[in-house]
Amino acid sequence: MLNTTAIRQRWRNWRGNWGLDALLLLALAAATVNRFAPEPVSGDVMLYSVMSLQNVTLFFWGQNRLLNVGPALTSLIHDPAANLWANLLFPTLVFFGLLRAWAGVAVRLVSPPDSDGDRQVNTRRARQLFLLLSAIVLLVLKPHAVYEVVVWHVEYPLACLLLLWAHETWFAASGANRLLGPLWLRMLVVALLLGLALGVNFSTVIPALALVGGRMLLQRRLEMRNLGFAGLAVVLFLLWWLVAHRVAGPSGTEYAGFSFATLREGLPLALGSMQNALWLPRLEALLLVVVTLRLWQAWRNRSSWNVQVLWVQILAVLFALGWLLLFAGNAWVQKFAFHYRYFVFAWLAFGIALSLELAKLLAAIPGFWRMTATALAFLWLIAVLIRAPVPLQQYAFAQRVAPIVGMGTTIYAGEFEQTWSAVMAGMLQRQPAFGVTGRAEGNKKGLREHIASALRQDGRLEVGCLQDTVESCLKQVNAYAEQTVRVREARLIAGRKPAWYLVLEQGMPPTPAMTREPAAHWTYRGTDLISLYSQVGYGDLKGIHSLGEEGFLLYGPYRAASQGVYRLQIFGTVQQAGTAWADVVARSGNLRYAQFALQPGEDALVDELVSLPRDEPDVEIRVYVGTGDVVRITGYEWRLQAH
- pLDDT digit string (tens) for 64-112? 889 999 999 999 999 999 999 999 999 999 999 999 999 999 999 998 7
CB 443 within 8 A of CB 61: yes
Which of 437, 542, 551 is CA-nearest to residue 492?
542
Residue 174 confidence class, pLDDT cut points 50, 70, 90: very low
Question: pTM of this prediction?
Answer: 0.88
How far is the C-alpha of 62 from the C-alpha of 57, rounded, in Å?
A: 10
How far is the C-alpha of 409 from the C-alpha of 398, rounded, in Å?
A: 15
pLDDT of the residue at 529: 86
How far is the C-alpha of 54 from the C-alpha of 75, rounded, in Å?
A: 9
Exposed/middle/buried for residue 489 (C-beta within 10 Å: 0-12, 13-18, 19+): exposed
pLDDT of the residue at 515: 45
How far is the C-alpha of 279 from the C-alpha of 7, rounded, in Å?
A: 45
CB 163 within 8 A of CB 194: yes
Residue 179 confidence class, pLDDT cut points 50, 70, 90: low
pLDDT of the residue at 16: 54
Sheet containing 411-414: order of strands: 434-435, 411-414, 461-466, 499-506, 485-493
Tell me the mean pLDDT in the region 24-39.
96
DSSP string across 500-549: EEEEEEESPPPPPPS----TTEEEEEGGGGGGSB-SSEEEETTEEEE-S-
CA pseudo-torsion sign 199, 201, 39, 414: negative
Is pLDDT of 385 > 90? yes
pLDDT of the residue at 417: 93
- pLDDT digit string (tens) for 220-239? 888 888 999 999 999 999 99
Lowest mean pLDDT among 3-12, 315-324, 365-374, 558-567: 3-12
Sketch out the chain's domains with CATH numbers. 18-385 (no CATH), 393-506 (3.30.110), 521-642 (2.60.120.260)
How far is the C-alpha of 207 from the C-alpha of 221, rounded, in Å?
A: 20
State the Cα angle at 168 between 283 and 304, rounded to 5°. 50
CB 36 within 8 A of CB 151: yes
- pLDDT digit string (tens) for 184-205? 788 899 999 999 999 999 999 9
Is pLDDT of 517 > 70? no
- pLDDT digit string (tens) for 271-319? 999 999 999 999 999 999 998 988 887 777 755 567 889 999 999 999 9
How far is the C-alpha of 501 from the C-alpha of 463, rounded, in Å?
A: 6
Q: Higher confidence at residue 171 or residue 382?
A: 382
pLDDT of the residue at 516: 45
pLDDT of the residue at 276: 93
- pLDDT digit string (tens) for 563-586? 999 999 999 999 988 889 999 999
Is pLDDT of 6 > 60? no
Output the average pLDDT for the chain: 89
Lowest mean pLDDT among 38-52, 253-267, 488-502: 253-267
Q: Which amino acid is at 190?
A: V
Which of 254, 272, 439 is CA-nearest to residue 334?
254
- pLDDT digit string (tens) for 622-635? 999 999 899 999 99
pLDDT of the residue at 511: 60
- pLDDT digit string (tens) for 235-268? 999 999 999 888 877 765 667 788 899 999 899 9
